[in-house]
Amino acid sequence: MSEQPPLVLVVEDEPDLADLYAAWLGDEYRVLTAYGGQEALERIEEVDDEVAAILLDRRMPGLSGDEVLSAVRERGVDCRVAMVTAVEPDFDILKMGFDDYLVKPVTSDTLRDTVEGLLRRGEYDTELQELFALTSKKAMLESEKSATELADSDEYQDLTDRIAELRSRADQALEAATEDDDDFEKLFQEFDGDD
């Protein structure tokens, strides 16, 4: 008997869009949809030990994506979360417990790549997961904020310092694990140009 594909929960208050995302992902993953924040929490309650990734709209009537994300983290649900939203990111994202942030509209390829990345990150240890999440937040802020806004932000400087610290630890772990194994080096290639 083969292992079931990972379970992805799509949380989106626009049913047509949620169903579209589910159709895009349905060939590779098991997909559940929730058409609002409260329904998302009920779905998570049903499958929290199975859900591997959540695609979460940030702005929804009733229970917002931010509130759903907080509840997921408070409950200790062990999954990766990507915000998929029309809300432009601001420095408030630095305190949020998501792993990736996509601004709508998104393409099917982008959505599939994001889920694949989320699932791959779920296999890494906690510090490496944090490094991926922080690097994603840094890239998003750099694409949306001016150099002056970034330079004036203490939060952004703290973020940059934390990324440098985590990279240093990851590099040390990589050196200790192997000097010749290309698989380990591939994990870190996406960070090479972020300094």
Enclosing domain of residue 174: 138-189
Angle at 35 between CA 33 and CA 40, to 5 degrees: 70
Considering 123, 146, 177, which residue would you say is the last residue of a domain? 123
Q: Classify 76 in phi/psi space as left (phi over 0), alpha (psi -120 to 50) or beta.
A: left
Confidence bin at 24 (pLDDT 50/70/90): very high
Q: 119 in helix, strand or coil? A: helix
Query: Could you say which of 79, 98, 123 is where a domain stops?
Result: 123
Please tell me whether residues 23 and 57 are part of one structural domain.
yes
Q: Is residue 132 part of a domain?
A: no
Mean pLDDT, to the nearest integer, of 104-120?
A: 92
Q: What is the mean pLDDT of residues 99-127?
A: 86
> How does residue 47 score in pLDDT terms, banded at 50, 70 and 90?
confident
Question: Bigger pLDDT: 169 or 192?
Answer: 169
Say if residue 101 is in the same domain as residue 146.
no
Ranking 25-39, 44-58, 176-190 by mean pLDDT, the lowest is: 176-190
pLDDT in tens, 119-148: 887 666 678 878 888 998 999 899 999 999
Number of H helices, E strands in the chain: 8, 5
Question: Residues 158, 114: one domain?
Answer: no
Residue 34 has pLDDT above 80, yes or no: yes
With a cut of 70, say whether residue 179 has pLDDT above it. Answer: no
- On whether both 116 and 143 belong to a single domain, the answer is no
117 and 171, same domain (yes or no): no
Least confident span in 62-76, 137-151, 159-173: 159-173
Task: Note the pTM of the prediction, 2 decimals.
Answer: 0.69
Q: Which residues lie closer than 8 Å to 86 by C-beta, 6 or more apart? A: 59, 103, 104
Number of domains in the chain: 2
* Percent of the chain scoring above 70 in pLDDT: 85
Element (H, E) at 11: strand 7-11
| Predicted pLDDT of residue 1 | 40
CA gap 173, 151 in Å, rounded: 31
Q: What is the pLDDT of residue 193?
A: 47
Do 143 and 77 share a structural domain?
no
Banded pLDDT at 181 (limits 50, 70, 90): very low
Give the Cβ contact number of residue 98 at 10 Å.
22
